[in-house]
A = this chain, B = another copy of it.
Amino acid sequence: MSLPQYDSRNRLLTLLPEEDLERLLPHLERVTLPLGKSLCESGVEMDHVYFPLDAIVSLLCVLENGTSAEIAVVGNEGIVGVSLFMGGRTTLSRAIVQSAGEAYRLDGQRLKNEFYQAGEMQQHLLHYTQALMTQLSQTAICNRYHTLDQQLCRWLLLCLDRLPDTNLAMTQNLIADMLGVRRSGVTQAAGKLQQAGLIAYHRGQITVLDRPGLEERVCECYKVVKDEYDRLMARPVVM
């Protein structure tokens, strides 16, 4: 596909037939998402959806006392704002930019129109949503059973899959907030990985040195979710 000025890094968009994409393209607005930006707040209707290109967005569930934890990650494989076409208009989760980068922004109403034409776009969006549900489920069980060490590996790999290189710009504080644990817990877990030579940590910059090593230590949740994304987001769509 060689459309003018089209950045094809978003997997969900590239699944679209060329004609659908061409129709959509003029309305895709390229935006830069800075770290920490909120794309969606609990109970507030979104007026746009986002297709990340190299940005990573965390979906967070927030408790009354203000604490929160990540329930899913969205990167260049997906879309932020499923509640729009699911019809609920709002959702209880927050969407926060966890790794700054680029994204395509699309008007919510336009997405809905596209969705309700019941074409391939609808299929892909529904498939993606099902994959997202798998991620939510696996996060739940991972929270119940797996150690912080394993979860950290999972989280690093999730990010790695959605980034162009092996450099993650995130402080331990941020990671702790995402995982819903203490910052010093992350320090300890990251310390082990660093001692094992898998990562190098330096003031908010993590460099992954040995990805296979991480994959050895991670809990099964990582691969389970990844495989399910690959299965559900493979072409072609069979009805």
Contacts and interface: CB of A to CB of B under 8 A. Distances in A.
Interface of A: 59, 61, 63-64, 67-69, 71-72, 82-83, 85-88, 91-93, 112, 116, 118, 123, 126-127, 129-134, 136-141, 143-145, 180, 220, 224, 228, 231-232, 237, 239
A132 B180 CA distance: 22
How often does this chain occur in the complex, in copies? 2
A109 to B, nearest CB: 11
Contact of A86 (B129, B139, B144, B239): B129
Contacts of A137: 59, 61, 71-72, 92-93, 136
A127 B82 CA distance: 11
Contacts of A145: 63, 67, 69, 180
Contact of A127 (B86, B127, B130): B86
Given A91-B130, A130-B91, A140 B69 contact: yes
Contact of A61 (B69, B83, B141): B141
Given A220-B64, A228-B92, A133 B136 contact: yes
